[in-house]
Structure formats: structure tokens, C-alpha cells
Chains A and B, each alone.
Chain A
Amino acid sequence: QSVLTQPPSVSGAPGQRVTISCTGSSSSIGAGFDVNWYQQLPGTAPKLLIYGNTNRPSGVPDRFSASKSGTSASLAITGLQAEDEADYYCQSYDRSLSTMIFGGGTKLTVL
């Protein structure tokens, strides 16, 4: 059971918009700790997608955006493309556990 809760799967047709939620607690996201997002394409290592809640590293398309509010964060992908099919993970910190934490991951299927 992950400390950050993500839906196991989401799906959307090409061109559509999908969102992936990441729900934490008052000791993690709600305590003000940053949320980072990673994309893991099949058979590859994770790649940083969003850092510091809302920032995109250079090279990441602006189709990817994220937000944070209260004890939750959200990743949005617009103009869905086949190559977006991957697993997505949120990451933060929990001060009660004194550990870095990941969400359980969300598998995005492009229909």
C-alpha cells in the first residue's frame, strides 16, 4: 500500500486530455513538500517529467502539466499521443515516516 495514492489505470483516445491524481496526506503533500512526476515507458528506466509541483524539464512537451492543491497533486496530459502510453509515478516526502515516497503508479493506455 503506497503512501501516495494513484489510480491504477487511466485511458484516453488520441487527442484527448487525461488527468492522473496523486493523493497524499497532511504529513506529505499537505505539509508543503514538493511533488515530482516520472514517466516510465515499457522496458525502460523512469524519466523525470515534472519537478517542484509544476515545472517541466527542458525537452518535455508542454502537453504535460501538473498542479498541486492541499493534500493532492495532479498530472494532466493534453493532445494524447500513442507514445504517451506508459506508467506514471508521483513522488514526494512524508515527514511522519521520514522517507521519500512514491505513488503506486498509473498505467496510461492510449485507445
Chain B
Amino acid sequence: EVQLLESGGDLVQPGGSLRLSCAASGFTFNNYAMSWVRQAPGKGLEWVSSISGSGDNTYHTDSVKGRFTISRDNSKNTLYLQMNSLRAEDTAVYYCAKHRGIVVVAAAKFDPWGQGTLVTVSS
């Protein structure tokens, strides 16, 4: 069974940093692209970042470019999101999600999703 388990969410002050992790199991991790998708409290879903199976190709939404970095350690079956210069508007539940294949395609389907980890940016 495919399982994704996020961790690392916390309360952090504006301007602070945080690293999220997503531990994967039940599939050959390096054969699949992965993404982070966030959901602000009471709001809809927003794609944040994606990474290819090899880790060679990464993509970020404009609002986090230069502040967030997606990465992966295929030897540890773990996906990461390094979040710097955090802002109040980054407050959200962050989900990791598995793609269908090894490359990041335009309208990729996310299946499955982890349970999410809450990041709160507040002073």
C-alpha cells in the first residue's frame, strides 16, 4: 500500500524557516515525480512545487520562487520542502502527493496524498 507521511509543520515567526518532510513507502520512490500542495485554513487547494523522480527537474509556483526549495533523497524515500522567508500567507496545511510517472507533466494527477502537516506563520 502506498503511504505518504508528512512531518515538520510548526508555528514559526514571519521571516523564519522550516523544512517539511514526506516519508514515502509502498512504491519505488525514485520512479515517481512528487509534489507539494497547500491549503490555507478554510480555503482551496494551491499547487506549490513539483520535482521529477530523479530530482533533476524542479518547479515552483511564482509566490514561493526564491523562498521555497523542493528536493528529495531517493536513498531515504523522502521528499522535502525547505521554506525560507516565511510569510503569514504561507499559513496552510501542506500535503505531499505522488504523481503518475517519473516526469512532471503539465496536468499531472496527484494520487495519493499524505495526511498533511500544518504550518502556521505568526508572531
Which residues of A are interface residues toward B (Cβ below 8 A)? 2, 33-36, 38, 44-48, 51-52, 57, 89, 91-93, 95, 99-105
Contacts and interface: CB of A to CB of B under 8 A. Distances in A.
A70 B7 CA distance: 40
Interface of B: 35, 37, 44-47, 50, 61-62, 95, 100, 106-116
Given A33-B106, A93-B106, A51 B44 contact: no
B45 A46 contact: yes
A45 B111 contact: no
Contacts of B44: 2, 89, 102-105
13 contacts: A34-B107, A38-B45, A45-B112, A46-B113, A47-B112, A57-B111, A89-B44, A92-B107, A99-B47, A99-B62, A100-B47, A100-B107, A102-B47
A47 B61 contact: no
Contact of B108 (A100, A103, A104): A100
Contacts of A46: 37, 45, 95, 110, 113
A30 to B, nearest CB: 13
A105 to B, nearest CB: 4
| 6 cross-chain pairs, A with B, having the tightest CB-CB distances, nearest first | A93-B106, A48-B111, A100-B47, A34-B107, A51-B109, A45-B113
Nearest to A55: B109
Interface centre among A46, A51, A104 (most CB of B within 10 A): A46
Given A46-B113, A100-B50, A36 B45 contact: no
A45 B116 contact: yes
Nearest to A31: B106
Given A38-B45, A46-B45, A93 B107 contact: yes
A81 to B, nearest CB: 22
A7 B121 CA distance: 30
Nearest to B44: A105
Nearest to B63: A99
